[in-house]
Amino acid sequence: MAYRAHCLICTGTGCVAGGSFNLRKTLEAEIAKRGLDREIQVITTGCQGFCAEGPIMIVQPDGVFYCRVEERDVPAIVEEHLLKGRPVKKLLYTPPTEKAPIPALKDIPFFAKQKLIVLRNRGLIDPDRIEDYIAVDGYTALGKALTQMTPEGIVLEIKRSGLRGRGGGGFPAGIKWETCRHAGQVRGVAPVVICNADEGDPGAFMDRSIIESDPHSVVEGMIIAARGIGASEGFVYIRHEYPLARQRLQLALDHAREFGLLGKNILGAGMDFDIEIREGAGAFVCGESTALMASLEGKLGEPRAKYIHTVEHGYQDRPSNLNNVETYANVPLIILRGADWFASMGTGDVKENPWNGSSGTKVFSLVGKINNTGLIEVPMGISLREIIFDIGGGIPKGRKFKAVQTGGPSGGCLPEEKLDMAVDFDSLTEAGSMMGSGGMIVMDEQTCMVDVARYFIAFLTEESCGKCTPCREGLKTMLDVLTRIGDGKGRMEDLGLLEEMGAVMQDCCLCALGTSAPNPVLSTLQYFRHEYEAHIRDKKCPGGVCKELITYGIDPAKCDGCHACVRACSTAAIMGEVKKVHTLDVHKCIKCGACIEVCRRDAITRT
């Protein structure tokens, strides 16, 4: 029976937190009440990407994009839109800079500039149903790979596509597969295919969304990789903190097995390959290849000497191919549409040598001081400015952009002058940051770069496995110095000391966590040295964050006496009658920032 309309409700973790599961139930109940259940189908889809505006619902075929939908809006939607065909104006999305709402999805700037390859099926299919994935020609790439291509051909195709590791290292996947395959043949040991879904970077949730929206793309990518490399066993190492993604992936694996796409004699082509899900135990360091494999083997998750490459001697000393979720998700389309199609996107000419550029697209999770927080997929080579301002919708509260942090804790902070730089592997690394997994944290004038550096160093000190001296002791001492600077007790030679420590760590640390840990400090020193000097010499915190160095005050010009801040202040440091300009007692103030949160007039000053 053909449905005349589909309501696509986003059930990514963000929207689920907003209550989209209940939304679906009430919507279905309402439709049934109105007897429309045979005409209108309600589908729950993966993450639509626009998390800031969640829970999101799209009504097709008209493509109307509703945001911040709540259960109490359901009767209105059914009545007005589904019955009478008039979109509910209140739920439409109006970009912050404009007045009029934009009903159609394709017109919304957040989506317009994106190019969906990995996220092509997000919001279109129900991740729990394999039929939906097959409907959008899922597993046809697998069929092509098994029947029409030789394993060597598959590897060559990936190599020529210039696909580089989306986990952060940017190592060409084709070369990795080739070496792994060769090692398997030479040593006569069956290689292993592993998917790294640990995603430990704070603020990064790309892999989660990919798995939650389109798990089969990852599965299909892994099977093709296994065919190319000649592996018989596969693992997905997913972090413990992604229960919904794990449940959907497990469901996908079971369905794939039922459909003969996984397990014994896949598609009758005589290939045996199965995938098992293994959970991480909450250690950021287990995102690193050797630590991950140690954890897979049940051992203490700590990295080992890197000169023994995991593609030759990895999990249980077998050749192991470790790629990120996003890398595998790209594979089916490359096989289906060919390497040239993929190489045409992105920067540089990768046909001869994958190192010469960054082809394909990259998924970023845009967070921080940005209007359109969410998941975006943009072609390589796009500029930071386009991402932040066109797609991201600029900085809220009209504040000024200060910096953007890419690559998670191992990445660096790029200042305003770098906004027009093309976003790809090599240029980011040159600029002192790195592509990393794809976390992009936007910072405005009210963030203190010293505090940001201290936050990341604190995170890394906590997450360092502590095995080798420079990382364990280096991070601890760096944190002490940064905290000292933040408390206004820093000395000018501390800056030289930080740089020296950073250099030694980059030289001597055993694994990437250690060698890339100094990046936040070194990049903030490189671009925001003046903020450090302000903290040390002037005992001032430009971003108004470091408690020891700021004092709170109320700008009489802006304060309209709305009394909100008095209620929020826990130490009764603010006095004043309603409708009158209020005053703040500096001695009582503990600088907790509660008043800033509630002040609609932005009247609280931090100097």
Calculate the dihedral angle through the C-alpha atoms of 246, 250, 255, 256, rounding to the nearest 10 degrees: 90
CB atoms within 10 A of CB 516: 23
- CB of 196 vs another protein, minimal distance in Å: 20
Give the DSSP H/E element, type plus range, for residue 159. helix 151-161
**Measured distance CA(555)–CA(548) in Å, rounded:** 21
**Measured distance CA(435)–CA(427) in Å, rounded:** 9
Backbone angles phi, psi at 256, to 5 degrees: -60, -40
Of 256 and 475, which has the nearer Cβ to another protein?
475
**Measured distance CA(601)–CA(565) in Å, rounded:** 11
With beta carbons less than 8 A apart as the criterion, state whether 490 and 477 touch: no
- CB of 237 vs another protein, minimal distance in Å: 18
Of 178 and 463, which has the nearer Cβ to another protein?
463
- CB of 466 vs another protein, minimal distance in Å: 3
Q: First vs last Cα of the chain: how many Å apart?
A: 66
Helix axes 519-533, 469-486, angle to 10 degrees: 20
**Measured distance CA(286)–CA(303) in Å, rounded:** 8
- CB of 428 vs another protein, minimal distance in Å: 21
Of 254 and 462, which has the nearer Cβ to another protein?
462
Catalogue the E-assigned strands of 445-594: 552-554, 574-575, 583-584
**Measured distance CA(194)–CA(206) in Å, rounded:** 18
Give the DSSP H/E element, type plus range, for residue 605. strand 604-606
Binding site for another protein (CB under 8 A): 283, 285, 300, 302, 305, 307, 461-470, 472-477, 480, 497, 500-501, 503-504, 507-510
- CB of 190 vs another protein, minimal distance in Å: 25
**Measured distance CA(521)–CA(499) in Å, rounded:** 8
Before 172, cis peptide (omega within 30)? Answer: no
**Measured distance CA(546)–CA(548) in Å, rounded:** 6
Calculate the dihedral angle through the C-alpha atoms of 584, 590, 595, 597, rounding to the nearest 10 degrees: 150
3-state secondary structure of 5: strand
With beta carbons less than 8 A apart as the criterion, state whether 127 and 212 touch: yes
- CB of 540 vs another protein, minimal distance in Å: 26
- CB of 169 vs another protein, minimal distance in Å: 16
Of 241 and 416, which has the nearer Cβ to another protein?
241
Take residue 494 and report the two structure tokens written for it. Answer: 């501390």
